[in-house]
Copies of this chain bind each other. A is one copy, B any other.
Amino acid sequence: MADLETLFDSLRAAQARLALEDRRRKDAGLRGAMDAIDGARKGILAANSADVERARSGGMKEALVDRLLLNERRMDGIVEGIAAIAALDDPIGRVKAGWTLPNGLLVEQITVPLWVAAIIYESRPNVTADAFSLAYKAGCGILLRGSGAARESNRALVKAIKAGLDAAGGIPGAVELCPSESRDEVDVILKARGRLDVVLPRGGRELIRRVVEEARVPVIETGEGNCHIYVEPSADMDAAVEIILNAKLQKPGACNAVETLLVHRDAAAALLPSLARALAGRAELRCDGRARQAISAGVPPTALVLTDASESDWETEFLDYILAVKIVDSLDEAVDHINRYGTRHSEAILTNDLRAADSFCRRVDAACVYTNASTRFTDGGEFGFGAELGISTQKFHARGPMGLEALTTIKYRISGSGQTRP
């Protein structure tokens, strides 16, 4: 992996220069990259067509092909994404805190780039542009390790980005695409202690597990979302049905889609029959005994796919048109269930009871806790971060949707006039 070692060195050298660029110059680089991508649309779309053709002939499922596919509308999205990040405030050089010690020393806590990051990701080509633009704005070097399926798309995108940075007087060496997509390459990345400052794995359970096991470089896990909605008797049941439909059906393959519905026993009769009617033909319901009974009492069985839930259903991120349903006797039981089976991603309570809302939000251990809204909003774009590197399900360094702030750290700057320690 001599190639990769060379890239580590050149990324670090480029980052040392990028870290000294002011906002105006970084934004000029971003706009240069944006213009170059916009101008190279034809070539990028042609490269993407080649990837898509290869994927289809290799038998890739259409749902996955869709993640890989670029078109004019998605190219617009990529270009607009870079513009949105250029418009954000500089995350670097902020004085987060500052105070003067009794001896006159001024201590300031100042944001600085996290240095050089690597991202290992699946076949979405827009991640290439998002990760580059967030890293560049945050003054970080970035190593992009895309999937083999998106090879031509990523090469075309990175070529345009580098050309655009060059034309705009930016620092093209601050972004690099891995030369191959081999497994060995991932090994080298995970062991690059002292050369990379963080690795961001995006992808399935297997990739995350491997990275956590093998990495000697700090990792931010962008893990699974086994998300729950818990409904109390005091909830607005019409709104509850709309929220659950949205959280389940609007994009079932997303990590912030709901997977298990928990219903207070006193809310079951008011919620479940109408919910089941609304989901009939659109999602399978995997129910515990009491939930099944509540639904069966109010809905003709022919209209529904209704099955018995097993223990493994509580643990599963279906990423599909399937919803597990369980009746609970109390808020406590709901919180316990979520803290036992949840993945610390996004959890919601639907209620009109202030004390219950507050207790749920405090006691549920998750990056995002919602009151009376769909879990689908857990997203850097929705939160106003311009784009995201992924959604952190760990508590360390970054939690929830990761935008620019996740790529920063702090430095203490201490200014004195000859102080010594007595």
Contact = CB atoms under 8 A, between A and B. Distances in A.
Contact of A377 (B239, B373, B414): B414
B246 A371 contact: no
Given A384-B99, A396-B397, A236 B418 contact: yes
Contacts of A236: 418
A218 B413 contact: no
Interface in A337-374: 361-363, 365-374
Interface string A380-422: 0011100000000011110110000000011111111111110
A104 to B, nearest CB: 9
Interface in A210-228: 212-213, 216, 218
Contacts of A218: 218, 394, 396
A369 B413 contact: yes
B415 A105 contact: no
A411 B242 contact: no
B414 A371 contact: yes
A190 interface: no
B377 A419 contact: yes
B414 A246 contact: no
A151 interface: no
A378 B413 CA distance: 11
A346 to B, nearest CB: 9
A101 B382 contact: yes
Query: 5 closest A-B pairs (Cβ-Cβ)?
Result: A373-B416, A246-B420, A239-B418, A376-B421, A397-B397
28 contacts: A19-B362, A101-B377, A101-B383, A107-B383, A114-B395, A115-B365, A193-B212, A218-B396, A236-B418, A242-B420, A245-B420, A246-B421, A250-B420, A361-B413, A369-B411, A369-B414, A370-B414, A371-B415, A372-B419, A373-B416, A373-B417, A374-B421, A377-B414, A382-B421, A396-B396, A396-B397, A399-B409, A399-B412
Interface of A: 16, 19-20, 99, 101, 105, 107, 114-115, 193, 197-198, 212-213, 216, 218, 236, 239, 242-243, 245-247, 250, 361-363, 365-374, 376-378, 382-384, 394-397, 399-400, 409-421
